[in-house]
Amino acid sequence: MFQSFESLTRPEQGPPRLAALREVMAAEGVDAFLVPRADAFQGEYVAPRDERLAWLTGFTGSAGFCAVLAGTAGLFVDGRYTLQAAQQVDHGAFNVVPWPQTKLADWLAGHLRSGGTVGFDPWLHTVKEIADLRAKGEDHGLTYRECANLVDSVWPEQPDPPRGAFRVHPDALAGESHGDKRARLATELAGAGHAAAVLTSPDSIAWLLNIRGSDIRCNPVPHAFALLHETGAVELFADPAKVTADVRAHFGAEVALHPPEAFATRLAELTAPVRIDPASAPVAVERALPQPVHGADPCVLPKARKTAAEIAGMEAAHRRDAAAMCRFLAWLDEAAPTGTLTEIAVVARLEEERRRAPELVEISFDTICGAGPHGAIVHYRVTTETDAPVTPGDLLLIDSGGQYVDGTTDITRTVATGPVTDAQREAFTLVLKGMIAIHRARWPKGVAGRDLDALARIALWRAGRDYDHGTGHGVGAALSVHEGPQRLSRVSDVALEAGMVLSNEPGYYRAGEWGIRLENLVHVVPAPPVEGTDAREMLSFATLTWVPIDRRLVDPRLLDRDEAAWLDAYHADVRARVGPLVEGAAADWLAQATAPL
């Protein structure tokens, strides 16, 4: 099984661990200590060794942080995790703080006296993050001090670092050799007067060197740091045991391998200007460099602009993933009304269907499967303790995906398991209208994700509703399922460019009752010509995900003519693309599920 269903709560979490941490804080002479979710690589998902936030608080969401003081502790989470945090943490020990509505600097100022000291591990916080905190801390008389990780000092059975093997990602799937990538980016560095760039994001290193890793579940990235020099040469700092003979041969002479413990020492030897990305580089990296200069990670935008080969791989991965989803949904339609299913049984069957494809490496994230009230928890993860029956009449929200050798998938469908209420049908159709609006969007070159986000919300806004997450995130090509910098979000100012892959996933959640989300992946393409337009360059989205949308939950009266036509055309395309890949009961189900409204 790919999915793990372990308990989310452990009896020793909370007060005993908090007390131990406060003891070492007092010995260290700090009044507060910051415990982030992030690891040294600033990834969304972390290895068991780096699950410090979960170990201390019990909260297992993929975003959040904790500030521990002598008399209080604040767990900061955003709107996706408010319900989850409320269920997972000991409220006698931790206060759940809404973030970003409440800023950490302001919260600390309200709980610490002037002259207070805040400790933090310089490997776990970015340059930008700490610079912002320090700037605000000066106004409140607070000092931020680098120190050893105090959680590690009280975690007696902390797991070892991961030692997952690297593998070669073929040039045929990447669309460009790592030599060509290194040369292209090196030219940019030289032109900027930078002798080298420090790469601290594992997905950047994986993309640049055409490798994949296995240090993090569901994310095929290597735990490593790297230096890209203006000559195009690369120094890679990684556990040599992870690097097989095939990978060493793939690297050739211009990629030198060093042990990770040599990284900080090597940085100190670089006397020329070296670029770091303040949004992702740890404070410790800047501190080690004699001449750090700030600039964007040179891999980020090239990685986001997928090559034709990467888009072709994504399309192939989505076709086989659609076939697995259709087999699964056909089974679910038969089994759900019996009342014999639980959330874990649903997840297990979906993963079983995906595993039928030999190209599957693993799932792309732990499957979200929420029945009824659990669907209102945006990133709900079922465990043996929370496993709920799928009661006929529940709305069932299923958000899942696969990591294939040639592409990454991420799809959400909300399905009916029995009779549907008018309120459910209305909310579902409003969400669908938002999804269709994004699919049909056409915009001038230079427009950012924040400019399109409202298109997905306007139907909900007119009904006095909204959702507390972005409309879409970037997606890697056989890489991380969440990839920046592109997003469909109110806070994203990154211009959308051809080749970028994003999710389109509006939702609506009614706490304690049900949740609705619909998600397709799309990629940015030049917009097809329209008669009578001017010469302005325009962009639009092309669809990657081809899986039926539950027509039983659609109220056709709420769709305008163009929206209804889009849905019928989408389902006709699903039938044409996926029909040849399924047979028997799944083929019969697909024909029915894609019938016109």
What digits encode the pLDDT tens for the residues 182-195? 999 999 999 999 99
| Confidence (pLDDT) at 82 | 81
Cis bond leading into 485, ω under 30°?
A: yes
CB 29 within 8 A of CB 105: no
The closest alpha carbon to 462, from 420, 427, 504, belongs to 427
| Confidence (pLDDT) at 320 | 98
Reading the block at residue 22, the tokens are 């406060």
Reply yes or no on whether the pLDDT at 330 is more than 80.
yes
Q: Domain boundaries in the chain?
A: 15-153, 167-299, 305-593
Reply yes or no on whether the pLDDT at 111 is more than 80.
yes
Q: What is the pLDDT of residues 248-306, one digit of tens each?
A: 999 999 999 999 999 999 999 999 999 999 999 999 999 999 999 999 999 999 999 99
What value does the mean pLDDT take over residues 521-542? 92
Lowest mean pLDDT among 10-14, 130-134, 195-199, 421-425: 10-14
CATH architecture for segment(s) 15-153 = 3-Layer(aba) Sandwich (3.40)
Lowest mean pLDDT among 61-70, 483-492, 499-508: 61-70
Lowest mean pLDDT among 416-425, 437-446, 481-490, 533-542: 533-542
CATH architecture for segment(s) 305-593 = Alpha-Beta Complex (3.90)
Q: How confident is the model at residue 1 (pLDDT cuts 50, 70, 90)?
A: very low
- Residue recorded with tokens 């049909």: 440
Q: How confident is the model at residue 505 (pLDDT cuts 50, 70, 90)?
A: very high
Reply yes or no on whether the pLDDT at 13 is more than 70.
no
CB 127 within 8 A of CB 278: yes
The closest alpha carbon to 430, from 556, 558, 547, 565, belongs to 558
Lowest mean pLDDT among 105-119, 301-315, 349-363: 105-119
Q: How confident is the model at residue 6 (pLDDT cuts 50, 70, 90)?
A: low
pTM: 0.93
Reply yes or no on whether the pLDDT at 140 is more than 90.
no
Mean pLDDT of the residues in the chain: 94
What value does the mean pLDDT take over residues 52-79? 90
In whole angstroms, give the CA distance from residue 470 to residue 80. 10
Q: How confident is the model at residue 497 (pLDDT cuts 50, 70, 90)?
A: very high
Per CATH, 167-299 and 305-593 having the same topology is answered no
Reply yes or no on whether the pLDDT at 11 is more than 50.
no
Walk across the sheet containing 442-444 and list its strands: 442-444, 538-543, 520-526, 501-504, 472-474, 483-488
CB 506 within 8 A of CB 517: yes
| Confidence (pLDDT) at 9 | 44
Reply yes or no on whether the pLDDT at 540 is more than 80.
yes
CATH H superfamily, domain 167-299: Creatinase/prolidase N-terminal domain (3.40.350.10)
